Amino acid sequence: MLDEHDVDMRVSILPTQYGENVVLRILSSGSGGVLRMGHLGIEPEVQSVLNHVTSRPHGLFLVTGPTGSGKTTTLYAMLAEVDAVHRKVATIEDPIEYRLALLRQTQIDPAIGFTFANGLRSLLRQDPNVILVGEIRDQETADMAIKASMTGHLVLSTLHTSSAIGAVSRLVDMGIERYLVLDALVGVLSQRLVRRVCSACSEPLQATPVELAWLGLSGPVTLRRGRGCNLCDGSGLQGRTALVELFFPDAALVDALRAGASSAALEELARTRGYRTLNENGRRLVLGGMTTMAEVQRVSRGHFLTTEERAGI
């Protein structure tokens, strides 16, 4: 208990050569630990779109990103906006990270054969309107989630992919027919967490030539950095905000997907419809003084080495 609030800890212990390595994930239990949409640091226009998603009567909406990127927190913020009095909301999780009033929350137990797929199959007999599936890990769970979303249920879940557009390929790789994915998918949110510039010691500084090149700008540009203080332990960074990209297929994108368009071609087409990558949204955050170029690159840099990084080979 901390300041009269219950706190849950998810603990992972791994034996190493010189002792044990411990990793803690700290979660505020109860409904008080659930952040509302306006507290996630997500841009207002994105919040508005996500609210439209939760009003859909059926379909599949995915949040993607690496472990610890806040996927479940975002999904719970979306669930908190659902009218759970007039719509039956249920979850299948491993474990139950937050507790919300009026939600029917169930924890899976693989030891007794109660998996995500089996739990979802049982849950559909309970006639829910909105379903949160903690994670789509395998073909069976993906298949059940797709079928549920096509039979009158709004399904929210997480998936491990590096980009929003990549979620389609990931589901197809799992064994789901491409046309089923396209018929069910409402949209995909890809998310990362970046540290914010400390508000207590933030100061204006001129962008360096490297930053100007990354921003694609010329001439003097003023950014913000933290000089370091007691509040941020000298780092110049305090707190975190969400860096997101959204992908919502429309008729033209669906046609391109059905035709087997590559991810690159799909991205180019999506750009004509307002799609922005994590890096592009990161540049907006940097220009807005929210974070730094180094932070955006830390979480969104691709796995290929750039031309500059490969120089001299």
> How many percent of the chain have pLDDT more than 90?
66
Check if the beta carbon of residue 156 is closer than 8 Å to that of residue 188. Answer: no
- pLDDT computed for residue 79 by the predictor: 93
Predicted model pTM:
0.89
Hey, which residues does 246 pair with through a beta bridge?
Answer: 189
Is it the case that residue 261 has pLDDT exceeding 90?
Answer: no
pLDDT of 32 reads 57
Q: Which of 23-32, 99-108, 192-201 has the lowest mean pLDDT?
A: 23-32
Q: Are 263 and 220 in contact (CB under 8 A)?
A: no
Pick from 119, 123, 80: nearest CA to 102:
80
Q: List residues bridging with 16 in a β-sheet.
A: 19
pLDDT band at 65 (very low <50, low <70, confident <90, very high): very high
Q: What is the pLDDT of residues 176-220, one digit of tens each?
A: 998 899 889 999 999 999 999 999 999 999 999 999 999 999 889
Q: What is the predicted pLDDT for the residue at 309? A: 79
Q: 202 and 226 in contact (C-beta within 8 Å)?
A: yes
Q: How many helices (H) and strands (E) does the chain have?
A: 11, 11
As a whole number, the mean pLDDT across the chain is: 90
Distance CA(310)–CA(65), nearest Å, equals 27
The residues, ordered by sequence, that sit 6+ positions from 282 with a Cβ below 8 Å of its Cβ are: 194, 243, 291, 296, 297, 300
Residue 3's pLDDT is: 66
pLDDT confidence bin for 308, thresholds 50/70/90: confident
Q: Which residue did the predictor score with more confidence, 302 or 56?
A: 56
The dihedral region occupied by 20, where left means phi > 0, alpha psi between -120 and 50, and beta the remainder, is beta
What is the model's pLDDT at position 2? 62
Fill in the amino acid letter for 162: S
Asked whether residue 250 carries a pLDDT value surpassing 70, the answer given is yes
Check residue 274 and give its pLDDT.
87
Residue 33, pLDDT score:
62
